[in-house]
Amino acid sequence: MDTIKADIEHAITIRDAGRLKQLAGELHDVNSVQARALRHSALGQAFALHGEHANALEHFRIALDESIKIGDRVDEARLTGSIGNVLKSVGDYTSALEHYHRALGMFEKLGDSAGMAVAAAGIGIVHWFNANYVTTLEYFYRSLSEHEKNDDVANSAIVIGNIGLVLLATGDYDAALEQFEKAHSLHELRGARHSVAHALGNIGSARWKSKDYDGALHFMGQALQIHMELENKRGIALISGNILSVHVDMGNTKTAIELLAKLDELQIDDPNVGIERELNRARIQESHQEYESADATLQSALAKARDHGLRAWEAEIHGAIRDRAQQRNDFAAYLEHNSAHIRITEEVNGRETASKLAIQAKQREIDAREREHQKHMAVLHSTLPKHIADRVARGETVNDSFDHASVLFLDVVGFTSNTSELDASTVVALLHNMFTAFDAICAEHNVVKIKTIGDSYLAVAFGPEDSEQRIANSEQRIANSEQRMANVARAMMKCSYQWPHTGERIVFRIGLHCGPIVAGVLGTERMQYDVWGDTVNVASRMESTCEPGRIHASAGLASALGAPIVIHERGMIEIKGKGPMKTFWLG
């Protein structure tokens, strides 16, 4: 049951209605309350994606009843939110808000961050429909913050697109387009075609508002094609209405009439789509001098806008009725609708101004947070390996054990005696040059530098099954950590440096060993990624018992090496804490 539940959640995430119906079918003969709840939930989601709202509502309510029976509080909250989604889609905004707030309260009690994010986004959308843009942004940004905390790219992209809708409504078309394009790119990466279609439609709307009619039709056409392939009735109606508006604005009356006829054949539950269609109908009627019909159409659209509390539409329709009253010299009607138009427009514009200020303030906050994050990441990347720094940034506790790794210790021969005759800046510069070269060698061979202590250098090559990075250079033919580490040791030994005061070549000692190790990040200030274990200790002993200018390896490491590396048996060496060990020289 857990597997099929995970499959259903994945299908919901990628908005795959066909897969949801398939999974619901697999649950048909499973006789349990949990199975029935899952089945009806999947069917509800599938019907919702196709815009079949009555069917979706029926299945969601059955699933909700079943979830309540088994005391599944998480699914109860999710299904309450899903019912809110359907009610929103059919324009029952009051009931939708009630369900969203109820779901949000449940998720808050459960401590479900992902659920809170989805419910908050739903509340924001309803307020957007009602032109309450400040409240809209409050909930959108709350939703986005939760999604970002959860690294939920899919839902973050949806909310980014929703924020674009607020920018579009407040007249900031360029900023809206930027948000829509960002959302589109994220949806494309995930292959979420349902969301891609919505993003393309939004891009088309931004271009339409900017009077780029050809661009608008291009993107809206792409969106319509995807909605048709997905059999998304709501999406088809929404985009068809937008395309109709563009053709009406362009004066393409013949095409507009054909599109209006097709739109009349569609079932339209969304009041926004219905109102947009009626406004275009009135404009077409007026262009054909069907003035009485146009007046009646506008009055019908106004009633619908009032019924659903769609204030922005109310203002626009009052303006259209006012203009018609002026044309027929109806002074009383002109005054009535002009007054209503001005009053509602000022109300909405006041909200728009506040929204713009809220957007600017929030953007500054986001930018500041991003700058702090970048600074934090820069510090982490300067002190930790990148893949470890990324884990720390995600809040992970880095405490790893590796069954197999190779360890290198390098030491500069005669460092103390030689540097005693040099000034500090010269010593620092010399070590900097050497260790920078060693860092590059490690990076080339997928070996992790752990730390430097004075003139000593410690590095680890993790086994292929543990490493988060892979060697790209096939010519190296590196099959294991031992071979990689041996290549690093040989490359380091070839580095040529001289003592500044004598001109003599600097000589290194290198010790190598392999085996299990433990690794982790220490502390919270000036964090350090370090390694421990007997393997590390033996590698250190290999270095301390090494002859100058040579690479000293344990038998375990040497036995794993192949051509072109040549090894020579050194013999039995007394190793502190280990006793006699057979060791080898690397050629």
Per-residue confidence in pLDDT tens, the chain, 587 aa: 778 888 888 888 777 888 999 988 888 888 899 999 999 999 999 999 888 999 999 999 999 999 999 999 999 999 999 999 999 988 899 999 999 999 999 999 999 999 999 999 999 999 988 888 888 888 998 999 899 888 898 899 999 999 999 889 888 899 899 999 999 999 998 888 989 999 999 999 999 999 999 999 999 999 999 999 998 888 999 999 999 999 999 999 999 999 999 999 988 888 989 999 999 999 999 999 999 999 999 999 999 999 998 988 999 999 999 999 998 888 899 899 999 998 888 877 666 566 665 666 666 676 676 767 677 667 666 666 677 777 776 767 788 888 889 999 999 999 999 999 899 999 999 999 999 999 999 999 989 999 999 999 999 998 754 334 434 433 343 458 899 999 999 999 999 999 998 999 999 999 999 999 998 887 766 677 889 999 999 999 999 999 999 999 999 999 888 777 889 999 999 988 889 999 999 98
| Distance from C-alpha of 500 to C-alpha of 421, rounded to nearest angstrom | 10
- Which tokens hold the place of 418? 């030689």
> Backbone phi, then psi, for 129, in 5-degree steps?
-60, -35
Q: How many CA atoms lie within 13 A of 363 on its CB side?
A: 12
- What's at 351, amino acid-wise? R
What are the structure tokens assigned to 69, written together? 């029976």
CA angle 478, 482, 485 (to 5 degrees): 85
pTM > 0.75: no
Q: What region does 100 belong to: left with phi over 0, alpha with psi -120 to 50, or beta?
A: alpha
Question: For tokens 């959302």, what's the residue?
Answer: 183
- Single out the residue of 467, 454, 446, 471 nearest to residue 409, CA to CA: 454
Placement of tokens 């210790």 in the chain: 409
Burial of 524 (0-12, 13-18, 19+ CB in 10 A): exposed
Q: Which amino acid is at 542?
A: M
**Dist. CA 179–CA 165, nearest whole Å:** 9
Please tell me whether the peptide bond between 580 and the residue prior to it is cis, using omega within 30 degrees of 0: no
Show the domains of the chain with their CATH numbers: 1-71 (1.25.40), 387-586 (3.30.70.1230)
Distances (CA, A) of 506 to 416, 418, 440: 12, 10, 19
Handedness of CA 58, 64, 66, 68 (dihedral sign): negative
Cis peptide before 564 (omega within 30 of 0): yes
Q: How far apart are CA 513 and CA 540, in angstroms?
A: 9
